[in-house]
């Protein structure tokens, strides 16, 4: 039994070296291939439209478990990250400013109209 | 070219009329609420019940004081009443500087005169070169376009445009 264990250990040591060698060679080959690839040229040859045509979006969506996805979303944390109050205040302020500016533009147009009318009345140019 | 620094910046009849209507509404609401508070406080403190609707003299004095306080106070401090602020117009002296307290008080007191003359006092807004009404001429003031809070006029925003001034 003791002899068997010793043999196993020596076999492991013997196979270690070629395995590491093969691993190193494989990594080097992959690195050389990747370096040699021109990804821009490769992507230029890809027909994105054709690719998208082949994607069945409905089937992809069917495979998505929406409930599980929603369960994983921490809504409270999400809401906490959105500054809702300042967003709403900003929107309201902006809308009020636009309304006010429109109101003033309208009355100013009325001013011009009234002035032109008065001018015509007294035949002043 | 005109030497008037405010030329082309004088506010017209529609803006001023709209501001006046808003001010009358605001003034009425505030006067009604204020009167109710005064009547209540007088009743609580003195036990005397005021009847403003029957005591016309007291009501007239109250209205006159409130009128002057509302208009003159606004013009002397900011140059604009709430209604004028809404429509982007303000009162200045004829030379464009902010209206003084005496000018603002005089204007507030002269304003009813323009109304009392069957509105003829307002015709200057349409026909006068600087669009000044009777109460403007009396108080030495003018109404110009300009953002509330700013001491400078809107900057001849409309200068160079054709049309009556």
Question: Which tens digits make up the pLDDT trace of A68-106?
Answer: 888 888 877 877 777 777 888 888 888 999 999 999 999
Residue B162 has pLDDT above 60, yes or no: no
Residue B13 has pLDDT above 90, yes or no: yes
B13 interface with A at CB cutoff 8 Å: yes
Q: Assign B79 a pLDDT band (cuts: 50, 70, 90).
A: very high
Every domain of chain B and the residues it spans:
13-148
What local confidence, expressed as pLDDT, does residue A48 receive?
82
Helix, strand or coil, per DSSP, at residue B90: strand
Residue B14 is nearest to which of A100, A110, A119, comparing CB atoms? A110
Q: Would you say B97 and B140 are in contact if contact means Cβ atoms under 8 Å apart?
A: no
Q: For A56, which DSSP code?
A: -
Q: How many CA atoms lie within 13 A of A99 on its CB side?
A: 7
Enter the tokens of residue A5: 């264990």
* Contact: A107, B18; criterion CB under 8 Å: yes
Cβ count near B20 (within 10 Å): 17
Report the pLDDT averaged over residues B103-117. Answer: 94
Residue of B nearest to A96 (CA): B86
Higher pLDDT, B165 or B108: B108
Q: Assign A39 a pLDDT band (cuts: 50, 70, 90).
A: confident
Higher pLDDT, B6 or B101: B101
What local confidence, expressed as pLDDT, does residue B146 receive?
84
Q: Assign B151 a pLDDT band (cuts: 50, 70, 90).
A: very low
Report the pLDDT averaged over residues B92-108. Answer: 94
Per-residue pLDDT of A63-78, as tens digits, reads 888 888 888 888 778 7
A123 interface with B at CB cutoff 8 Å: no
Long-range contacts of B113-121 (CB under 8 A, 24+ apart): B113/B138
Of residues A65, A108, A3, A110, the one with CA closest to residue B87: A108
Higher pLDDT, B4 or B150: B4
Higher pLDDT, B54 or B32: B32
Q: Assign B1 a pLDDT band (cuts: 50, 70, 90).
A: low
Higher pLDDT, B4 or B154: B4
Chain A partners within 8 Å of B12 (Cβ): 108, 110-112, 114-115
Entry pTM:
0.63
Q: Chain-wide mean pLDDT for chain B?
A: 86
Residue B159 has pLDDT above 60, yes or no: no
For chain B, percent of residues with pLDDT exceeding 90: 62
Interface of A with B in 46-105 (CB under 8 A): 100, 103-104
Report the pLDDT averaged over residues B74-98. Answer: 93
């Amino acid at each position: 039994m003791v002899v068997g264990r010793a043999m196993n250990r020596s076999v492991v040591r013997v196979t270690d070296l070629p395995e590491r060698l093969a691993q190193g060679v494989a990594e080097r080959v992959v690195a050389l291939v990747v370096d040699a690839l021109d990804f821009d040229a490769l992507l230029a040859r890809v027909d994105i439209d054709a690719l998208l045509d082949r994607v069945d979006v409905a089937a992809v969506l069917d495979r998505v478990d929406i409930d599980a996805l929603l369960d994983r979303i921490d809504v409270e944390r999400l809401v906490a990250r959105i500054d809702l109050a300042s967003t709403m205040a900003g929107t309201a302020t902006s809308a009020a400013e636009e309304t006010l500016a429109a109101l003033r533009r309208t009355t100013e147009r009325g001013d011009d109209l009234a002035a032109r009318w008065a001018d015509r009345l007294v035949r002043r140019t | 070219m005109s030497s008037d620094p405010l030329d082309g910046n004088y506010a017209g009849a529609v803006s001023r009329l709209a501001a006046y209507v808003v001010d009358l509404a605001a003034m009425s609401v505030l006067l009604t609420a204020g009167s109710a508070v005064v009547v209540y406080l007088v009743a609580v403190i003195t036990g005397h019940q005021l009847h403003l609707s029957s005591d016309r003299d007291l009501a007239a004095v109250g209205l006159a004081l409130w009128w002057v306080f509302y208009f003159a106070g606004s013009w002397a401090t900011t140059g604009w009443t709430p209604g004028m602020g809404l429509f982007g117009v303000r009162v200045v002296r004829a030379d464009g500087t902010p209206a003084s307290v005496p000018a603002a008080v005089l204007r507030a007191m002269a304003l009813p005169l323009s109304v009392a003359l069957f509105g003829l006092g307002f015709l200057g807004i349409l026909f006068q070169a600087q669009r000044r009404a009777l109460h403007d001429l009396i108080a030495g003031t003018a109404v110009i376009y300009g953002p509330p809070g700013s001491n400078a006029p809107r900057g001849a925003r409309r200068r160079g445009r054709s049309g009556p001034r």
